[in-house]
Structure 1
Amino acid sequence: MKYKILLILLLSCKILTAQNNNQNTVYQPYIKTVQLYNSAQESSFPIIGLHTNDVLLLGFDDLQGGTKNYSYTIVHCDADWNPSNLSPSEYLQSFTEDRILDYRYSFNTKQKYTHYQLTFPNYNIIPKLSGNYLLKVYLEGNAAEPVFTRQFYVVDQRAGLVAGIVPSNQVVNRSTNQKINFSVDVSALPVQNPYAEIKTIIMQNGRSDVSSININPQFVQGGLLQFNDFQTNDFAAGNEFRRFDLRTLLSGGEHIAQIYRDTANTVMLMNDKALDQPNYTFQYDNDGKFFILNYDGRDPKTDADYAHVYFNLKYIPQNPNDAVFITGNFNNYRLDENSKMSYDASRGNFYTDLYLKQGVYDYHYVLKTKNETDQTAIDGSHFETENDYQFLVYFKRIGSRYEELAGYHLLNSTKSLR
């Protein structure tokens, strides 16, 4: 019986880990370079404390230019990003929607655009409950048809957490995986049944597609919940992200092979190859993030230009129907037609081009076969890889209609918990 229960728990973890509730979606092709982060640090995880002075910064470009009537609202969601059974008046302290009035036109760029910016909470939009929130931006007051959505979090920090990273308990994965053991202190919460009321989600580098959901602690000692099962929370560590530096269009930067400046900007990156070698090699990265920067101007929000960036990967798939995608935080790790690469069988080469704003970008390659999506087949996986792990502790009281976010903690694989 003990082995049957363990098997059920392991299978449940795999199913939950495979879910991807990424609703960071852009619905219009003229919307580019959407960023949402805590204003204290650019490109940081989009989380703020409840009833604190924390502020989120939203920015995006409209390549159609001109001035448009953009509005926004926020929707409270559960841990799985389903709308909570709440009315807006229950989770919003003030108004239910607001206009985006801060905009500026691009200056001295080949690609003309209008940059929109917003900080919140503000006088008009103030969340009064902790939890997951979905930001919707839309035109002409039509909230039913958003031009894009973004996920963010509001935490009421009451749950404590201690975590550590060790090599995998599976011998075959000891050199490639990072196993996480952790405990959650919920003594400050009115928990009656921790198995039914507490849920902890772990995300690798802020990615919902590389995450695990923990609902069954192995041990409960008073208000301390311990999660140290033999096989769960065993993450493939991956490899350091590839990156390129496009802070200037006047000369070559890191991983830039050639720049052509005509009626439009064209950037050819150096050729990539598979990194699935057995030994780890350190390479500085930004854990999948991107930063908008421009050495040739004063304000990259409005004077950074766009360019067609060409990627080439030397890789021969085992099956001609296998697909390769290029992903990163810049496209929300989406595997779709926009991130799918074309294959030239005569050269054994995958290629594509993306229209990107000047800056520094992390990226990596993902292999998708008929049976699975493999994040490490091309870029490799090593226990030594530096990763950030975000811990989100949710609390849903018995009979409550929404989930509270009662704890957030950040663990770096090479540093201490913070």
Structure 2
Amino acid sequence: MKKALCLLILSALTFSIAFAQAPYGNDVFRPEIKSVEFYKVDKQAAAFPVINLNSEEKVVLGFDDLSGGSRNFYYTIEHCDANWNSSHLSPAEYLQTFMDDRLFNYTYSSGTFQKYTHYELTLPNQNIAPKISGNYILKVYEDSDLNKMILTRKLYVLNSRVGVGGTIASSNNVSARRTNQKLNFTVDYGGLNVQNPNRDIRVLVMQNARPETGKMNNVPTYIRGTQLVYNDVNINDFAGGNEFRHFDTRSLKVNSERIGRIYRDTANTVMLLGDPNRNLPNYTLLYDNDGKYYVINQDGRDSRTDADYAHVYFNVGTNKSEAEGTPYIIGQFNDYNIDANSRMQFDSRGRFYTNLLLKQGVYDFMYVWVNNATKQPDYTALEGNYFETENEYQLLVYVRPAGARWEELVGYSLLRTVRP
């Protein structure tokens, strides 16, 4: 009995340690928390949340609590390494202000079927401000208790000290030239005091700010003077994918593109037109927002509090059976999470469907097929894969200063493919 109890305690301790050391991400931990937006102020909404250290630049966090009323939400930020593991620093080492603060800025919804409380936060502020550059995870939690986590968001604080430039070309792999996009880039670290650039500098490349697409470059192809060159034929080769699908619920009074019917009674219901399988031989031009979404109510005055929620019904034809696998619907609106909330159901018409409670606005989304046998997501099975697809690429350069226990963000560049 004692041996079994010891094994149980050891197993629980191992799990706790593993959980505590898991990398941070953009996560929402409570089902009543909806419509999380985190973007740079003075840029268009949904802009990548990167700000310069000790500048006037700020980011805004906004989210809704559908449980109504007001709650005791607190927030803080924690410094992380390039892989979003905690840097294990004392708050005094990375904060020039207090350790945490209460979120006081909230407003109740007005004139909506779905009642909610909208919370908003601007960073940095007089109570919470970073001292050093790098990755920071923003934590929002209840009752000043970090065990009651509400949500987390990734914040990038930049101290620009390197030059970053790059180009996007077709893949060097002949078989992938019609589908893949290859990034070649250089980092000029002349402004840094680096002992071993092969060891102390690394570069993360992401497609459309999606963490699951990230490729970490730990070692350059070669060094030319103070330039690190990354152009090996086998690295930074991304599937082009396809343009995102989209729908528009800025108004619930009239049908817009891709909307079949709108019902308004005790709640709002939006029936989207059926989506086809887009894995076709040739690329078709479609303008999108690279996966982003925007909360907008064109019939109101303040979308933050008078935009309503609607049950949005999706359905897609796959030419596949339920026995083969299941499609999931993802986008920035749900942090690209493939989980029970994004899973679709099979119906008697041979199509897959789901409904999601979403706030009014403009939404990009895509379907991901998960095979029952492999359990692996296939991002191109229902969407296709084309070199011509317009994508954004974020390049983030990290350095570990001599003798330091943390990594700093010292370079950032945004590359875009050219629309055909």
TM-score > 0.5, shorter chain as reference: yes
Contact 2:24 2:137 in 1 (8 A): no
SS in 1 for 2:93: helix
Q: Which amino acid aligns with 1:142?
A: D
Q: CA deviation at 1:316?
A: 2.6
Q: Equivalent of 1:411, from 386, 391, 415? A: 415
Change (3 A) 1:246 1:319: closer
> Structure 1 residue 396 and structure 2 residue 400: aligned?
yes
Overall identity of the aligned pairs, in %: 51
Q: Deviations over 1:42-69 (max 9, x none)?
A: 1100111111111010100011111111
1:15 maps to what in 2?
Answer: none
1:221 maps to what in 2?
Answer: 224
> Structure 1 residue 286 and structure 2 residue 260: aligned?
no
Number of residues of Structure 1 aligned to a counterpart in Structure 2: 395
Q: Equivalent of 1:51, from 37, 54, 79? A: 54
Distance 1:58 1:38 in 2: 9
Q: CA deviation at 1:399?
A: 3.3
> After the TM superposition, which residues 119-130 of structure 1 pair with which residues of structure 2 at under 5 Å, given as runs?
119-130=122-133
1:334 maps to what in 2?
Answer: 337
Q: Deviations over 1:148-192 (max 9, x none)?
A: 111111010111111001111111110111011111111111111
Q: CA deviation at 1:238?
A: 0.6
Q: Which amino acid aligns with 2:79?
A: H
Distance 1:23 1:391 in 2: 18
SS in 1 for 2:384: coil
TM-score (norm 2): 0.92
Distance 1:119 1:254 in 2: 34
Q: Deviations over 1:257-300 (max 9, x none)?
A: 00000111110000001111121111110000000001211111
SS in 2 for 1:107: coil
Distance 1:318 1:294 in 2: 38
Distance 1:295 1:56 in 2: 24
SS in 2 for 1:172: helix
Q: Equivalent of 2:118, from 111, 115, 118? A: 115
Distance 1:343 1:210 in 2: 28
1:10 maps to what in 2?
Answer: none
Structure 1 gaps of 5+ residues are 1-19
1:106 maps to what in 2?
Answer: 109
Contact 2:109 2:116 in 1 (8 A): yes
Contact 2:249 2:360 in 1 (8 A): yes
Q: Deviations over 1:17-54 (max 9, x none)?
A: xxx95611111111100111111221100111111111
SS in 1 for 2:213: strand
Q: Equivalent of 1:27, from 22, 26, 29? A: 29
Q: CA deviation at 1:145?
A: 2.1
Q: CA deviation at 1:398?
A: 4.1
> After the TM superposition, which residues 5-404 of structure 1 pair with which residues of structure 2 at under 5 Å, given as runs?
23-41=25-43, 42-317=45-320, 320-344=323-347, 346-369=348-371, 370-371=373-374, 372-404=376-408
Distance 1:319 1:215 in 2: 41
Q: CA deviation at 1:347?
A: 2.1
Distance 2:237 2:277 in 1: 24
Q: CA RMSD in A?
A: 1.3
Q: Which amino acid aligns with 1:375?
A: Y
Q: CA deviation at 1:99?
A: 1.1
Distance 1:211 1:380 in 2: 20
Structure 2 gaps of 5+ residues are 1-21
Q: Which amino acid aligns with 1:187?
A: G
Contact 2:23 2:85 in 1 (8 A): no
Distance 2:27 2:387 in 1: 31
2:13 maps to what in 1?
Answer: none
SS in 1 for 2:192: coil
Q: CA deviation at 1:319?
A: 7.0
Q: CA deviation at 1:308?
A: 0.4
Contact 2:322 2:346 in 1 (8 A): no
Q: CA deviation at 1:222?
A: 1.9
Q: CA deviation at 1:348?
A: 2.0
TM-score (norm 1): 0.92
Distance 1:379 1:192 in 2: 46
1:16 maps to what in 2?
Answer: none
Q: Deviations over 1:107-152 (max 9, x none)?
A: 0000000101111101000101101111111111112321111111
Higher mean C-alpha displacement, 329-338 vs 36-45: 36-45
Q: Which amino acid aligns with 1:75?
A: E
Contact 1:22 1:208 in 2 (8 A): no
Change (3 A) 1:385 1:21: farther
2:8 maps to what in 1?
Answer: none
